[in-house]
Chain A
């Protein structure tokens, strides 16, 4: 058993095109560190200055981890983590 991680199209360059990868760890942060070992570059697309990037949504099962404990959110074997880039924009410049 492991933790299943679903990768969006835009980040599949880091997973050799794979839609789904597996990893381990006891928190989301540890899981991402583990993924980085096999999928170099992924961590930097998810984390900035020790926090989840603002325009990346990460869900544990079906819950946005921002409403849980962010990178400290406990994860366990059998969980599914889904990464989705936020869909955002607008007329404001900056």
Chain B
């Protein structure tokens, strides 16, 4: 299960809406081993594409270094789908590289309603998990 503070949830949705129709992506960092997302980090989609995302490699290095210095880890890795459902595509499964992270998918295909779902992706297997938003 993913437990996420309301503020971070809203920041993800706002980022996804702002970058629509391109895919938005980013990280929620949290203390290592805590499973608690605590810090919102919007990342640059180096692809600037409506169908693909990739973290900018220099930015990723800096952010990962910073997390390491703070004894944090990427608790959540999020990205948006802008014309399809909030479910991991084959591409998402192929490139999933953080077996301990919650993969959050947001769909902005509907103008008014944002789908927000969370998954574990490890060893090519996808399993959806419930999302609890805490105030």
User: Chain B nearest CB: distance from A20 CB in Å?
Assistant: 11
Q: Which residue of A lies closest to B84 (CB)?
A: A91
User: Chain A nearest CB: distance from B5 CB in Å?
Assistant: 22
B55 engages A86 (CB within 8 Å): yes
B51 engages A92 (CB within 8 Å): yes
Does B114 belong to the interface (CB within 8 Å)? no
B61 engages A90 (CB within 8 Å): no
CA gap between A94 and B51 in the complex, in Å: 11
Chain B interface category by residue count: 35 or more
CA gap between A90 and B78 in the complex, in Å: 11
How many chain A residues touch the partner (CB < 8 A)? 21
Which of chain B's residues have a CB closer than 8 A to the CB of A9? 98-100
User: Chain B nearest CB: distance from A59 CB in Å?
Assistant: 5
CA gap between A82 and B68 in the complex, in Å: 12
Which of chain A's residues have a CB closer than 8 A to the CB of B53? 88-90
CA gap between A86 and B55 in the complex, in Å: 7
With beta carbons under 8 angstroms apart, the residue of B50, B57, B92 that contacts A89 is: B92
Which of chain A's residues have a CB closer than 8 A to the CB of B98? 9-10, 85, 87
Which of chain A's residues have a CB closer than 8 A to the CB of B90? 93-94
Does A21 belong to the interface (CB within 8 Å)? no
Binding site for B on A (CB under 8 A): 8-10, 55, 57, 59, 62, 64, 66, 82, 84-94
Binding site for A on B (CB under 8 A): 23, 25, 27, 43, 47, 49-55, 57-58, 60-62, 64-65, 77, 79, 81-84, 88-92, 94-100
